[in-house]
């Protein structure tokens, strides 16, 4: 594993866990239910759960995301996919998402910001 990738991801995890910081939205943002590394043994794989925004066709849905960062992260973007087989705790993410920027079968998010327009800066 690239030590730079692990260092950056640990820093991002610390920012998430720190209460009352501008980058920590978990406590204030009810749309984000969960965002953590998938296991203690690999910081390169993350799991997220989000609520569908109110007043949209996605309202009421709970959507799981699989986030995989390569060893060259943050120089290259993570792969982010919607995952309908995900279950963390008591919440199951079985809702499938239908959106033009989401691959229907794989769930991969297809946005320039996660491809050509990616920047390691934040």
What is the pLDDT at residue 94?
67
Q: Per-domain residue ranges for the chain?
A: 3-114
Give a three-class secondary structure readout of the chain.
CCHHHHHHHHHHHHHHHCCCCCCCCCCCCCCEEEEEEEECCEEEEEEEEEECCCCCCCCCCEEEEEEECCCCCCCCCCEEEECCCEEECCEEECCCCCCCCECCCCCEECCHHHCCCCCCCC
pLDDT class of 74 with cuts at 50, 70, 90: very high
| CATH architecture type of domain 3-114 | Roll (3.10)
The catalytically annotated residue of 53, 110, 113, 120 is 110
Average pLDDT over residues 90-119: 82
Cα–Cα distance measured from residue 22 to residue 29, given in angstroms and rounded to the nearest whole number: 11
Share of the chain above pLDDT 90, in %: 28
Would residue 110 show up in a list of annotated catalytic residues for this protein?
yes
Tens of pLDDT, residue by residue over 10-68, are 999 998 888 754 444 444 456 678 889 998 888 999 999 888 888 988 888 888 899 99
């Amino acid at each position: 594993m690239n030590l730079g990738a692990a260092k950056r991801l640990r820093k991002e995890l610390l920012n998430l866990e720190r209460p009352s910081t501008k980058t920590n939205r978990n406590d204030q943002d009810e749309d984000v239910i969960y965002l953590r590394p998938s296991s203690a043994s690999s910081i390169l794989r993350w799991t997220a759960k989000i609520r569908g925004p109110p007043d949209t066709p996605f309202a009421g849905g709970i959507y799981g995301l699989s986030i995989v960062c390569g060893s060259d992260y943050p120089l290259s973007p993570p792969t982010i996919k919607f995952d309908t087989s995900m279950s963390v705790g008591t919440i199951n993410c079985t809702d499938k998402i239908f959106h033009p920027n989401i691959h229907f079968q794989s769930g991969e998010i297809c946005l320039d910001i996660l491809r050509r327009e990616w920047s390691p800066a934040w």
